Each structure stands twice: as structure tokens, then as C-alpha cells.
Amino acid sequence: MRSGSFRAATAAVAGAVAGAALFLSAPTAAADNPPYADCPAWALCLYQHGGGTGSKVIVTPPAAGGNTKIVRLINTHFKNGELADNQVSSWLNNSQCQIEFWDDPSGELHPSDLDFAQSWHWGEKADYGTGSSRYYNNDRLSSMRFYCP
């Protein structure tokens, strides 16, 4: 083989190998944001869409030791900038806290209980999205009360 055609053949093989490596290592669109992704430890993550998808809000509960905290979503936004109040469709609790989820749009004294997360149940999830048996809670969540033993 002559040196010119050897270089051309080597370049073609190298290009094909590089292209195949790039193709095989490229992430798929679905892998970019798997359901309930990127929720840190000691946090409650609220997702805009069912099944832990879409934009999220990360809420940090109070420290352990019997501390209580009420969080209202009236001025809270998802990472995409949209208001989270009455727009949550799923959540993931990565804390040891007990959480009461309320439909309490005005911060009234008599909130409507929507859901409950038990304490010491790391990774507990709820889905209110389309097709969920709890769809009646979709886009109603406006505040939470944390109790962290």
C-alpha cells in the first residue's frame, strides 16, 4: 500500500471509530432527566409534572430534633421560573420528617389536608399526574407542615 493511500485509510478508520464512540456515548433525551432526579439528601422535592418529571422545587426541611416548619408556595417558583403554588403534580421526600401537604392558598387557619408523608420514610413518593389514582390532588398543593423528629 502506498503511503498516501495508507494515510487516507488510517484517517477514515480513525474517523469512523471516533464517530461510533461519540454516537455510543451520547445520552438519550430520556436519560437527561429521569423521574425523581437530582433530589438531594435532607430535602423535599416538588415536581411540576406527574411521575417526578418536569421542573422542580427543592424545599429544605428544618433540622432534626422536634423542629416544626410551615412552608407556603405562594411566592415559590420551579427552577423554570413558573410559580409552584397549585402546580405540583408529584413529590419525593428525602428527609426523615413527617410532612402534611395542604391546599391552603391564603394561609388560612383551616387548611384542607391533601396528603401525608410519614417520618423516617426516606424516598417516599406521591404522584398526582394524569392516570394516577390520586389525580384529584393534582395542582392543588399550596403549603406543607414539616415535623422533624
Each residue's pLDDT tens digit, 78-123 = 999 999 999 999 999 999 999 999 998 666 666 789 999 999 999 9
> Can you give the pLDDT at residue 22?
36
CATH 2.60.20.10 fits 34-148, yes or no: yes
> Can you give the pLDDT at residue 106?
66
> Can you give the pLDDT at residue 34?
86
> Can you give the pLDDT at residue 111?
75
pLDDT in tens, 24-69: 333 333 345 689 999 999 999 999 999 999 999 999 999 999 999 9
Q: Which band of pLDDT confidence, cut at 50, 70 and 90, is reported for residue 15?
A: very low
Domain coordinates in residue numbering, the chain? 1-32, 34-148
> Can you give the pLDDT at residue 104?
80
Phi, psi of 71 (to 5 degrees): -120, 125
> Can you give the pLDDT at residue 105?
63
